[in-house]
Amino acid sequence: MTRTHPAQTGLTLIVGASGKTGRRVADRLTDRGHSVRGVSRSSHPAFDWNRPEGWAQALDGVSQVYLTYSPDLALPQARSDIRRFVDLAATMDVARIVLLSGRGEPDAQACERIVQHSGLDWTIVRASWFNQNFSEGAFHPMIEAGVLALPAGQTPEPFIDVDDIADVAVAALTEPGHSGEVYEVTGPRLLTFADIAEELSTVLGRRVSYIDLPRQAFLDALADEGVPEPMAGLLDYLFATVLDGRNAKLTDGVQRALGRPPKDFRDFARESADQEVWSRAPRVEA
């Protein structure tokens, strides 16, 4: 049975505090005056999913957790790691867990069930492809080079903004009414990777082309770049399995959690361009 707790928060542990969502959640909580302990492999105390002997130190004195799993809950060891972490958290008087999960990923949903059956107060934030993959992640160099070459076909995806994910997570950590909720979050439009290239071309004033790369050519390119096999396998899984149309529908998760619509990719692109995230063509004054 899930325990329900008031909105008052003590110390919040951010697992993955250096990641795209983790650092935003930490910043928002800190700005609101909440006590935060952000952990990663390079933090003090350090947190490493491969070193469970250090988890208790990270959890000491913590009342709630924003939980992310790097690089993805689809990895074979994720389920046992999440179970071990959640069991430890329950023994250390943690009251609430907000889990960032993967949309359309059966292994991620198995990890969700571990959290849901833990007896702790829980909220699931279920997301897929981020807008920020193009500004902060692996696709940024491609945008700079002007060629988005990926094995993505013409499958549409409702790309979600990481700021929306962070806002949903913070609401779940600081407000009543989010206990036991699964927020499946998407952006407001379905876009193919070709659409993304067109959107960025318009914003940047220079051509960004999309090339539908054959799967083997993509894997060969990853090998040539020295990408470790586990990461290459994960990318292959995401493109070949998750990006098969299963997530090609919009949801109301952001609206339900925050009472507002999600950010559109075009607004994200304009804001990022104004922040000079990417190089852009010189403007010609009229």
pLDDT of 197 reads 98
Mean pLDDT of 206-219: 96
Q: Which of 7-11, 22-26, 185-189, 193-197 has the lowest mean pLDDT?
A: 7-11
pLDDT at 178 over 60: yes
Quick one: how far is CA 64 from the chain centroid? 19
Residues 257-285 have pLDDT tens digits of 999 999 999 999 999 999 999 998 864 34
CA–CA dist 94, 88 (Å, integer): 9
Whether 100 contacts 24, CB under 8 Å: no
- Give, for 37, the enclosing helix (H) or strand (E): strand 35-39
Q: Which residue has tokens 């790309």? A: 159
- Quickly list DSSP for 206-219: S--EEEE--HHHHH
Residues 126-140 have pLDDT tens digits of 999 999 999 998 899
Residues 31-65 have pLDDT tens digits of 999 999 999 999 999 999 999 999 999 999 999 99
If you compute the radius of gyration of the chain from its CA atoms, what whole number of angstroms results?
19
Whether 218 contacts 150, CB under 8 Å: yes
Query: CA angle 233-39-105, nearest 5°?
Result: 35
Whether 215 contacts 151, CB under 8 Å: yes
Q: What helix, strand, coil percent values describe the chain, rounded to 5?
A: 40, 15, 40
- Give, for 115, the enclosing helix (H) or strand (E): helix 106-116
pLDDT of 9 reads 66
Domains of the chain: 11-127+161-185+249-262 (3.40.50.720)
pLDDT of 4 reads 42
Mean pLDDT of 96-125: 97
Instruction: Report the phi/psi class of residue 278: left, alpha or beta, with left for phi > 0 and alpha for psi in -120 to 50.
Output: beta
